[in-house]
Chains A and B, each alone.
Chain A
Amino acid sequence: MGRVFVPRRLAGVLSQFTEERRWLGIVTLLLFFSLWQILPSYGIVDRYLFPPPSAVVSDGLLPWLRSTFLSDLLCSLMHWATGLMLGFAAGFVLGICMGWYRVVDSIFYYLVELVRPIPPIAWIPAMIIWLGIGHTTASAVIFIGAFFPVLINCYSGARNVDPVLIDAARVLGTRNLLLKVVIPYATPFILTGLRIAIAACWMCVVAAEMFGTTRYGLGWTLFLAESYGNMALVFAGMITFGVIGLAMDIAFRRFERWVLRWKPLAG
């Protein structure tokens, strides 16, 4: 009997524990930042290589905020948004058409499969030669970052439309199956593609700007900070990328939940 009783009590303790797991995560964060602050301050790790959070703010973030931060941020967001929107539009059109029309699939399939594995960043040298140094080049790299994830997801969405819904739409007199059935059906897939694209494009921003395609931007700042040996600014740049990337994902999840309100939550 005791062998049954003990695990049950243990389970009770554990369930109490999981209810408080949110706090557990916050404790980890606090511990992380405290260690990061304390270790370099007492000389346990190199203060130059790992400037503590206080120094990142005072020597990195604050001077940056007073100088070019806003233009850097806007410049990066502009590259990101331009590339993302154009890449999404192109990937959406081609992906849906390839998924729905067999003949379009046959025409483009091998070409897409051949070009798709090239990482967006590998396009940078070619883009610089084709388009020169400038916003266009940065956005073009980001375009590639959005194009393929959107294309692949739109493709599987349109390819997997439930045939019985097509039958239902036809007996109900639909003339435009693409607009009335295929695209609505594919919406969850399209949004998944968009979500992957948002993150991929944000990564491409760093890379495109670090190659010096423009003289502004968060990525460019990161590159400058490294060449000046300004570790506080390096960390400030990294954290800015992290925070904005997180904000984008949170905002997008909310948007997605709203668009897909017709869908049961997973599970």
Chain B
Amino acid sequence: MRLLADKIKIENLRKVFEVRGGGNVVALNDVSFSVREGEFVCIVGPSGCGKTTLLKIIAGLERPTSGVVTLDGKPVSGPGRDRCMVFQEYALFPWRTVLKNITFGLENLGIPKEERLKIAKRYIELVGLQGFEDRYPHELSGGMKQRVGIARALAIEPEVLLMDEPFGSLDAQTRNMLQKELLEIWEKTQKTILFVTHSVDEAVFLADKIVVLSARPAVVKEILEVDLSRMRDRTSQEFNEVRSKVLRILQEEAQKAMEMEKSELPLA
């Protein structure tokens, strides 16, 4: 366990969306927590609670209504190369090959071509995609697509990796495999990772720290340190103790979320 300074501080974050035709939806209502350097933090919460919104604010893609996100003490005001994001839908550029997807961010940084290829090659090896450089995304399986997504984000060498349910569309085996690979990559690259998931199992397997959000409007319901050594054994007793604990909290919140959704539906 690495105990270092706070890398990211999220303070009193609030996000209100204006709904077309009047009315507001409060997505985040006063969310605060912090992430240490090199820490692997998972964010779980009932569906629709604003996890993605939170991640987008940290990425600089959305502005909070109030509150502030600081990275190394500096407030975040837009996207920056110190952070990069991995998406559930992979978000690969379909007109670019695997290689060209990975060099996309490097082109924007104005890195010369030879250098770009060298860096891309390194990350292609890191995610094990050698031999697939010239394939187009539609020729790849879901797992391979997300490997490209991860390599593409890592290639610009951000300090923080923001992952929005990155394995959510994968089948169970591929998901488990990629979780292991991600942990290995994390060990090697020492990145700070913020990982949104709706799978408690995934969170307990991956995280140093689990941030449990409440039903909308989201506040931090609980923060759990997961003090288990890696690679974790999903069948062990300790693993399941943590899992039950998170599940219990989530169940209450899911119940609330469902009741809220019901009350928001127009009557038939």
Contact = CB atoms under 8 A, between A and B. Distances in A.
Given A167-B85, A262-B138, A187 B95 contact: yes
Contacts of B94: 262-263
B79 A164 contact: no
Contacts of A162: 91
Contacts of B95: 184-185, 187, 262-263
B91 A165 contact: yes
B138 A168 contact: no
A267 interface: no
Contacts of B206: none
B87 interface: yes
A168 B91 contact: yes
B142 to A, nearest CB: 15
B79 A171 contact: yes
Main secondary structure of the interface of B (DSSP, over half): loop
Interface stretch (A26-34, A125-133, A172-180, A193-201): A172-180
Centre residue among B56, B87, B162 by max chain A CB count within 10 A: B87
B108 A167 contact: no
A184 B138 contact: no
A234 B60 CA distance: 67
Contacts, number: 66
A253 interface: no
B152 interface: yes
Interface in B80-136: 81, 83-85, 87, 89, 91-97, 104-105, 108-109, 136
Given A165-B93, A167-B61, A263-B94, A172 B87 contact: no
Interface string A233-267: 00000000000000000000000000001111000
A184 B87 CA distance: 20
B31 interface: no
Interface residues of B, number: 29
Interface residues of A, number: 21
Contacts of A21: none
B178 interface: no
Given A184-B93, A264-B138, A168 B108 contact: no
B59 interface: yes
A262 B97 CA distance: 8
A8 interface: no
A171 B104 contact: no
Nearest to B139: A264
B61 A170 contact: yes
Given A167-B61, A168-B85, A173 B105 contact: yes
B93 A171 contact: no
Interface in A127-172: 162, 164-165, 167-172
B114 to A, nearest CB: 20
A187 B94 CA distance: 11
B44 interface: no
A171 B61 contact: yes
Interface in B48-63: 56, 59-61
**Interface hub of B85, B94, B95, B105 (most chain A Cβ within 10 A):** B95
A261 to B, nearest CB: 8
A172 B136 contact: no
B54 to A, nearest CB: 14
Contact of B83 (A171, A175, A181, A262): A171
A172 B105 contact: yes
B81 A173 contact: yes
A173 B156 contact: yes
Given A172-B105, A172-B108, A181 B93 contact: yes
Contacts of A187: 95
A181 B95 CA distance: 10
Interface in A185-226: 185, 187
A54 to B, nearest CB: 51
Given A262-B95, A263-B94, A171 B89 contact: no
B91 A164 contact: yes
Contacts of B61: 167, 170-171
Nearest to B89: A164
A173 B111 CA distance: 12
6 contacts: A171-B59, A171-B61, A172-B153, A173-B105, A184-B95, A263-B94
Interface of B: 56, 59-61, 79, 81, 83-85, 87, 89, 91-97, 104-105, 108-109, 136-138, 152-153, 156, 162
Given A171-B59, A264-B138, 11 more contacts: A168-B91, A170-B61, A170-B79, A171-B60, A171-B79, A172-B156, A173-B105, A180-B104, A261-B136, A262-B97, A263-B94
Pairs A-B, 4 closest by C-beta atoms: A172-B105, A168-B91, A173-B108, A171-B85
